[in-house]
């Protein structure tokens, strides 16, 4: 097994090349490109994958880990040869190089006949992009002279429930699919090598820029467009293509009578006028919000490996809430709660919900189906408070359709997320200055705070908690201010 050349393909770059040759070229020739810097959100995905991979190794006892730095190719290859010669029943991160491609196998399992490749994924099913990944490993290992008789994708089991994690993983046999892909690999490799040997390939933009993953270099290829571009229409995917094909690039130029939804037509009118447009009986809609009104927002975590009774992989568990309660006179009280550690957060969360919402006549949420699911989850898992929690769900009113069905501001930019709506309708209310400013970042921070172990110092934990509380509080305050503004508009 010769040491790979510095620019030999890896299995991951092979998969990038399948998506787009231009992306492969940039990744290879510009490895330090700013677009390849690992953002915290991407690092959280990597960390989750490492955690799942480590847990998966327990399914193959007695194995040998090839524990080398990612650039120590020669050492990885040598250690793998030694583990094979020693008869290791399994090798974790087994490394091979052949046909100009370097591949590290998550688990190489010794079988009665030959070996098996086990590709570990942190998903709950085998997905189409996993198959080329498995196939290129099969290609490399066989080219390196290893007898491989089986290829599997090992993923999380959506039916597993804590505390019994004995069935945490499912192993899918993808040997036939990998074998079927093998004949195409030499052609793919030839095209990739030719592309890497020449100047930047010419590749038109298209759906492949986002499938199976968004290309980190997308901004280099996609032209910048103005705020009035038809790609900013609400649900633009349904209408932007035909409009562009007809030579219409600006929302302002969409002709009267064009086939648009009510929301899109309202967006066109607002964009042309440069003013907020209010239509329909907004006042009657707002009259359904009877005080005291509790404006409620949850933050959840969905760990890949479940941590609390009855939870499965990626089951969302509410661990933080904010509620601004506005009385008939306009007086406002703020409730907040954030779980304190790795213990089951749901009993305390149930009590926090009831403290905030029991006296309210209306409970308002934005995209309320999410809050409804959170409360129903608490009701199912805190049976002593089930009745009271379900009573809260009967008071739930969704603010999102109230905005979407009646109001459009040019500053929405085709989005009805609270992050777009609140700053447009309420000048000065902005998420931009927050350390944690959106839900995905909050969820990652919460998971690290509650389940990440002792790596975070006490001071760091206090800082993260403060940022999380600030973010969640702004979500509910934003709803209060948006409703005040809607009443003015109505």
Same domain, 192 and 296: no
Which of 148, 175, 197 is the last residue before a domain boundary? 197
Assign 3-state DSSP to the chain and report helix, strand, coil percentages, each to 5: 45, 15, 35
- Mean pLDDT taken over the chain: 95
Q: How confident is the model over 284-312, as a mean pLDDT?
A: 97
Answer whether residue 473 is part of any domain.
Answer: yes
Q: Could you tell me where the DSSP H helices lie in 182-234?
A: 185-197, 218-221
Distance CA 431, CA 438 (A): 8
Which of 148, 178, 197 is the last residue before a domain boundary? 197
At 237 the pLDDT is 85
CATH classification at residue 79: 3.90.320
Answer whether residue 162 is part of any domain.
Answer: yes
At 31 the pLDDT is 93
Judge whether residue 3 has pLDDT over 50: no
The residues, ordered by sequence, that sit 6+ positions from 292 with a Cβ below 8 Å of its Cβ are: 325, 326, 327, 328, 359, 360, 361, 362
Domain of residue 474 covers 276-490
Let me know the angle formed at the C-alpha of 35 by 209 and 422, rounded to the nearest 5 degrees.
Answer: 80
Overall number of domains in the chain: 2
Same domain, 431 and 282: yes
Same domain, 312 and 164: no
Same domain, 292 and 146: no
Same domain, 283 and 401: yes
Same domain, 420 and 286: yes
Answer whether residue 52 is part of any domain.
Answer: yes
The band of 7, judged by pLDDT with boundaries at 50, 70 and 90, is low
CB 313 within 8 A of CB 157: yes
Judge whether residue 2 has pLDDT over 90: no
DSSP three-state, residue 8: coil
DSSP three-state, residue 60: coil
Same domain, 423 and 284: yes
Tens digit of pLDDT for each residue in 349-408?
Answer: 999 999 999 999 999 999 999 999 999 999 999 999 999 999 999 999 999 999 999 999
Backbone dihedral angles phi then psi of residue 106, each to the nearest 5 degrees: -55, -50
Same domain, 298 and 187: no
Two tokens at 162?
């804590």
The band of 263, judged by pLDDT with boundaries at 50, 70 and 90, is very high
Tens digit of pLDDT for each residue in 87-141?
Answer: 999 999 999 999 999 999 999 999 999 999 999 999 999 999 999 999 999 999 9
Kindly report the pTM of this predicted structure.
Answer: 0.92
Judge whether residue 52 has pLDDT over 70: yes
Which of 179, 197, 215 is the last residue before a domain boundary? 197
Q: Taking the CB of residue 330, how many other CB atoms lie within 10 A of it?
A: 9
The band of 1, judged by pLDDT with boundaries at 50, 70 and 90, is very low
CATH classification at residue 311: 3.30.420.10
């Amino acid at each position: 097994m010769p040491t790979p050349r510095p620019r030999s393909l890896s299995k991951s770059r092979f998969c990038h090349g399948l998506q787009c040759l231009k992306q492969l070229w940039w990744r290879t020739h510009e490895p330090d490109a700013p677009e390849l810097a690992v953002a915290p959100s991407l690092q959280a995905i990597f960390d989750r994958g490492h955690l799942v991979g480590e847990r998966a190794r327990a399914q193959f006892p007695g194995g040998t880990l090839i524990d080398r730095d990612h650039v120590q190719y020669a050492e990885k290859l040598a250690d793998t040869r030694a583990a094979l010669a020693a008869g290791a029943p399994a090798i974790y991160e087994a490394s091979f190089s052949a046909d100009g491609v370097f591949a590290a196998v998550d688990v190489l399992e010794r079988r009665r006949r030959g070996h098996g490749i086990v590709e570990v994924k942190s998903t709950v099913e085998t997905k189409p992009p996993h198959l080329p990944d498995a196939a290129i490993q099969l290609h490399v290992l066989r080219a390196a002279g290893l007898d491989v008789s089986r290829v599997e994708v090992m993923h999380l089991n959506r039916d597993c429930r804590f505390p019994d994690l004995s069935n945490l993983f499912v192993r899918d046999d993808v040997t036939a699919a990998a074998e079927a892909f093998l004949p195409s690999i030499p052609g793919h490799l030839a095209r990739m090598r030719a592309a890497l040997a020449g100047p930047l390939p010419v590749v038109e933009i298209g759906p492949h820029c986002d499938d199976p993953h968004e290309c980190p270099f997308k901004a280099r290829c996609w032209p910048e467009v103005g705020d009035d571009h038809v790609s900013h229409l609400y649900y633009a995917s349904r209408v932007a293509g035909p409009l562009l094909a007809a030579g219409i690039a600006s929302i302002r130029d969409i002709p009267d009578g064009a086939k648009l939804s009510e929301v899109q037509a309202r967006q066109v009118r607002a964009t042309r006028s440069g003013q907020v447009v209010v239509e329909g009986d907004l006042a009657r809609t707002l009259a359904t919000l009877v005080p005291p009104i509790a404006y409620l927002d949850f933050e959840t975590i969905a760990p890949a490996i479940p941590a609390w009774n009855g939870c499965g992989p990626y089951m969302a568990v509410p661990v933080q809430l904010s509620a601004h309660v506005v009385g008939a006179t306009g007086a406002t009280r703020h409730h907040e709660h954030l779980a304190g550690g790795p213990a089951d957060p749901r009993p305390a969360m149930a009590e926090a919900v009831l403290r905030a919402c029991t006296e309210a006549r209306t409970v308002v949420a934005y995209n309320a189906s999410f809050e409804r699911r959170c409360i129903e989850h608490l009701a199912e898992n805190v049976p002593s408070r089930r009745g009271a929690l379900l009573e809260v769900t009967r008071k739930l009113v969704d603010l999102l359709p109230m905005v979407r069905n009646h109001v459009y501001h040019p500053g929405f930019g085709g989005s009805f997320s609270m992050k777009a709506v609140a700053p447009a309708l309420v000048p000065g209310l902005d998420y931009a200055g927050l350390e944690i400013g959106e839900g995905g970042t909050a969820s990652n921070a919460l998971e690290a705070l509650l389940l990440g172990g002792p790596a975070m110092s006490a001071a760091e934990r206090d800082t993260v908690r403060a940022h999380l509380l600030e973010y969640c509080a702004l979500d509910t305050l934003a709803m209060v201010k948006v409703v005040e503004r809607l009443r003015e508009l109505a």
